[in-house]
Amino acid sequence: MSEVSSIHTPTAPPSLLRRALCKPGLILGVAIVGVSSLLAIAPSLFAPYDPNFIDYNAVKQPPSWAHPFGTDMLGRDSLSRVIAAYSVNMQMAVLATVFAMIIGVTVGALVGYYRGIADVIFGRFVDAIITFPFLVLVIAVVAVLGPGLVNMYIAITLVNWVYYARLMRAEVITQMGNDYASAGVVMGYSDRRIIFRHLLPNAITPVIVYWMTDMALAILLGSSLGYLGLGAQPPQAEWGVLIAEGRNFITTAWWLSLMPGIAIVITGIGFSLIGDGLADLLRPRD
């Protein structure tokens, strides 16, 4: 009887959602990105003024109750313009990365599966790309295509997909060492089924984690290009453009560049926290 009573039923591992709720960093990141998404989807519901309304009687007013972020050189409310910029900058986070991820995941999966001459060519191509600084390559492509958001997305995609492909290739090669991949070949499954129904779902986790972090970098890169005049163009409200507009008044109207800069930092931290939280949450457990 004592032997029976000493046997304990093993407790089930905590669910993914329960473990996620125990990670304050991940929760904070989701909250930041969630609020940022709301501001991006419906900025007019949160902006106290029309972001493009010009009032020459309120030029470069410091932060006050009427204008918490002050006003710019044309009397436009800075808070409203920072909120309006969420639409553009959150769009950057998605469109500047999602196409690069799709292309990179597809190419990386195919190269990792077939290897051979394709893998050799891909390796030499990757070596050539990563030799140059990422920002320099993007600026060079934008300089050829011309400034603007669409051309900026094209430029980032043309350069950035390589990094996703390299990560996916390594993960697919790792997964092919498992028994289920060999079993699929023995059972006569098609290459497409093995790659996209078996290898890809098991190899995609690190790519998703990288994508979250890459969205933070995309906001920073897009703002940098806007600051240089290669991304969003005035009078469109975008954080990099707003910082560039305030750079000549940094000593007399410091709020013009500071407030959009804070928005960049906070939003970037949100995506970074999600990436770190997912990396910890999805890490294989013993």
pLDDT in tens, 198-247: 898 888 989 999 999 999 999 999 999 999 999 998 888 999 999 999 99
Please compute Rg for the chain using Cα positions. 24
Q: Tokens 């709720």 identify what position? A: 21
Mean pLDDT of 81-94: 96
**Inter-residue contact 157 to 103 (CB < 8 Å):** yes
**Inter-residue contact 75 to 55 (CB < 8 Å):** yes
pLDDT in tens, 23-46: 888 999 999 999 999 999 999 999
pLDDT in tens, 110-155: 999 998 898 999 999 998 888 889 989 999 999 999 999 999 999 9
Q: Which residues contact 180 (CB under 8 A, 6 or more apart)?
A: 198
pLDDT score of 3 more than 70: no
Note the pLDDT of residue 190.
Answer: 87
Three-state secondary-structure class, residue 65: coil
Task: Output phi, psi for 77, to 5 deg.
Answer: -70, 120
Q: Categorize the per-residue pLDDT at 284 as very low, low, confident or very high, splitting at 50, 70 and 90.
A: low
The two most distant CA atoms of the chain are separated, in Å, by 89
Averaged confidence pLDDT in the chain: 89
Q: What is the pTM of this model?
A: 0.87
pLDDT in tens, 40-68: 999 999 999 999 999 999 999 999 999 99
pLDDT score of 180 more than 90: no
Q: Categorize the per-residue pLDDT at 182 as very low, low, confident or very high, splitting at 50, 70 and 90.
A: confident
